[in-house]
Amino acid sequence: MRIHAYPETHLNKAQVMLGTAFDYAVNSCNISGNDFAKMFAASKICKRIENGEPAVVCGKSGIEVARETVFDTTKKEIENEPKESFSRSVDYWIGWALAYYQWYSNFSFSEIFKVITYAELEKMYYTLHEADITKFVDIVDRKLKEYYVETNLKRIRTIYGCSQSELAKKSGVSLRSIQMYEQRNKDINKASVETVYRIAKVLGCTIEDLRNR
């Protein structure tokens, strides 16, 4: 069972929001997709989306997100009027698809952009924009899992034969935290000794065994 930062009922709004943000930044403000992706991943509003804050996920427009992103990272204001378009752009699809994958996987946007370049996402558009979103998810998931090697926690838990939910119940550490440690969205090396001890006790290993090298 996957734990998501916000309910699936909010997902469509998040996808439209991020699709519009990328489209507006690239096609109305003449910011390169690669540059905007870097700005967005480093921005405060990106973290708020990843945390599932309803005021952002359901309450912000894509244009607001783009403007806040640029101001937060460059201290420059953009007030360009959105260009009228009768079809969805490549950049809209990229933002739309990324919003889905980030929600689905719990990887941060910065982790995603570390593995997939904007140029690669543009190439994916031509073969995937009319396909089911799950095909995009499968491709990106495979790339990220190849890049982010299996954590010690996941390896030991799998050998022990314990599911994530069972480990959470027995250790008292939240399921979301365990998932994020395994996906490297949270660094287990920086977790409290008490937290790691609880997990280690259930899995019959030492605290040091769970630390990532």
H-type helices in 51-192, by residue range? Answer: 54-57, 62-74, 90-105, 109-115, 118-128, 133-147, 152-160, 164-171, 175-182
Low-confidence ranges of the chain (pLDDT < 50): 1
- The domains located in the chain, with CATH, are 8-147 (no CATH), 152-210 (1.10.260.40)
Tokens coding 56: 């952002």
- Confidence at residue 107, expressed as pLDDT on a 0 to 100 scale: 84
Place of tokens 């405060």: 44
pLDDT at 150: 82
- pLDDT tens per residue, range 21-74: 999 999 999 999 999 999 999 999 999 999 899 999 999 999 999 999 999 999
